[in-house]
Amino acid sequence: MSDGTEKPRGRLSGKVSIVTGGASGIGEATCLLFAREGATVIVVDIQSDKGQALAARIREGGGKAEFLHCDMAVHAQVKAMIEYAGNTYGRLDVLVNNAAVESPLAEVDTTEEEYDRIMDVNVKGVFLATKYAVPLMKRNGGGSIVNISSAYGMIGSPGFAAYHASKGAVRLLTKSTAVTHARDGVRANSIHPGAVDTPLLREAINTNPDPQRFETTVANMQPIGRLGRPEEIAYGCLYLASDESKFCVGSELSIDGGMVAQ
């Protein structure tokens, strides 16, 4: 994710971080960048093999990381995830709520079961992680919560009804958290990626009847004319996680190649 010309600056030195959905895509890039900048990274995912491999890769490179299996739709597992950070490290400085699932279907084609699955992971998971992270952060003087929403948490498009609803909910949940806990030193901000070349999007492209045309169409939805790269979102996470963004409270960071600006 780096050409090797940029040297780490220790922007997260001494911080303990949790990144959900950390085993691949935006989460993986964020874990790698956080570790490079000095954070202890708890890689959280349901993809155990990939998560363990990533944590090992970080450790082999001299970073601090471990893997924790957690289904963000399961209350007890989310609570245990936050408690693990507190019991193991005595603190939690950064929580990146990145884990998400999606469906391309419009509301008329979405089953109740599919709607519930998407909302459970994408919204309830963020809600629960925040619920248990805030007291732990307050205990140590504050922290940063970075919620990965979407450009489609701000604007609409055909289909993806439940996914869009979930990302809009994350956007406003972030603001509620931000204004409620700002004076406790707990900051909450949201990031709104456009179309990013992640395994999830790549799967959708590769299973399309005309992959090349579909990829071009998706890329051209963004004025920049290309897909985003996971590390480009990770750098936004780094900024919001670091002390450089201490005055950012309830902000929306669009990293979308100009999609929302149209």
- Residues serving a catalytic function are 163
Which residues, other chains included, contact 154 with Cβ-Cβ below 8 Å and sequence gap of 6+?
A: 168, 171, 192, 252, 254, 260
Longest CA span, the chain: 53
Are 103 and 163 in contact by the 8 Å Cβ rule? The answer is yes
| Count of Cβ atoms closer than 10 Å to residue 220 Cβ | 12
Are 99 and 126 in contact by the 8 Å Cβ rule? The answer is no
- Which has the closest alpha carbon to 148: 18, 13, 20, 5? 20
- Which has the closest alpha carbon to 85: 45, 40, 122, 119? 40
* For helices 75-89 and 125-139, angle between their N-to-C axes, nearest 10 degrees: 20
CA 164 to centroid of chain Cα atoms: 15
And the tokens for 17? 């971080």
